[in-house]
Amino acid sequence: MKKNKVMLYYGLLVVLLILIGISSFFFNYFYNLRNEDLSLEDVSIREKNQMSYNVRLFDNEFFKSSMEEKNYVLSLVDNLNAYFNYSVSFSSPIEGEYSYYVVGNIVMEQNGEKVKNEIYRSDISKYEANGKVINLSENFDIDVDQIVKEYNNQVSNLGINVNAEIQFDVIINYSVFNEKISKSIVNGKSLTYYIPIKDLTNITYTDDNIDERREYSELNFDDNKIYIVICLEFIGAIIIFILLIVLIVKRVNGQVSVYQEKLDKILSKHDDAIVHLKDLPDLSKYDVLFVEKFGDVLDAANNIGTPINYYEVVKKHEATFIVLDKDKAYVYKLSSKNA
């Protein structure tokens, strides 16, 4: 009966391992569907940004392009005309809107701490997106001379010495819907011009960049239900597997402890009648009679007047008690299974 139970436990373990294996396969399959599995509908997106500027100096009436020179004597700079282009192309049509606005700040740094002081904020310009391309090309002026004058007045009044730069950020956002993947695509970009406030200024801006990526459709409602069921089944199988392992370990440990307790009791109570053998004797010449309990070999030893031979066949699991009488051998086996 006990052997059947153990076999049942091991059978359940095998079934659970197979169940966990199958569940993990489908779990991984649906997890990939939720990410970048190519079997889902997808749309490719390519984003590109470019920036440049022209600088107008006081000593002449024309602008110098950013392609010609990037270092300027700040006191000679009148204003800066900033130009940017931001474009997004989609592999299938979209509908929605995109927008941008400009924020200007003077960023001051003293003793490792930075403080932003907003000096300009434009209105938000919104546009409709329809088709496969969003293209935003705009320019705006930065009155460098006026900003520097106001900054110098503030700093001189405060009597502080700080490092500072003028920063103008172009904040671009879009939110569009793509019918192919049946979901909204939302993204944004921040493009920045940097003008350090120092005698010889080095005007810089966000590097030109091209970014390509894909957006994927979501699982449909039925797929979501299957995914949830598999997740629950996967978690349940793991929990049952762990509980079964704990049960088997407890049962095995319980059997061993009962066996050891019973063996210790026999050895201590009947120590004067038991001989500990180094090796198991050869019983091939004897008619071996297996008895059901230790009391049977004890009675046989008392009747014959011989000691009981003891040998532990498997440490902590199986011990054998033998009484030899001419051509007969009375054997009692104590194991963790029948203890």
**E strand or H helix that includes residue 200:** strand 200-202
281-331 confidence digits (pLDDT tens): 888 888 989 998 888 888 888 988 899 999 988 887 889 999 998 889 999
Closest CA to 127 of 84, 98, 90: 98
pLDDT category at 253 given cuts 50, 70, 90 is low
Alpha-carbon gap, residue 230 to 223, rounded angstroms: 11
Q: How far is CA 318 from CA 161, 282, 314, in A?
A: 88, 18, 5
Angle (CA) 261-262-266 rounded to 5° is 120
Alpha-carbon gap, residue 305 to 236, rounded angstroms: 61
Q: Report the pLDDT value the prediction gives residue 154, as an integer from 0 to 100.
A: 81
Tell me which DSSP letter residue 164 carries. E
Q: Report the pLDDT value the prediction gives residue 197, as an integer from 0 to 100.
A: 93
Q: Which amino acid is at 298?
A: L
Overall average pLDDT of the 198-212 stretch: 93
Contact 311, 282 (CB under 8 A): no
Which pairing describes strands 71-73 and 163-178: parallel, antiparallel, or unpaired? unpaired
Q: Report the pLDDT value the prediction gives residue 4, as an integer from 0 to 100.
A: 56
| 94 pLDDT higher than 90 | yes
Contact 81, 141 (CB under 8 A): yes
pTM of the model: 0.55
117-142 confidence digits (pLDDT tens): 999 999 999 999 999 999 999 999 99
Q: Backbone dihedral region of 246: left (phi > 0), alpha (psi from -120 to 50 degrees) or beta?
A: alpha
pLDDT category at 47 given cuts 50, 70, 90 is very high
Q: Report the pLDDT value the prediction gives residue 142, as an integer from 0 to 100.
A: 96
Overall average pLDDT of the 81-85 stretch: 95
Q: Report the pLDDT value the prediction gives residue 221, as an integer from 0 to 100.
A: 46
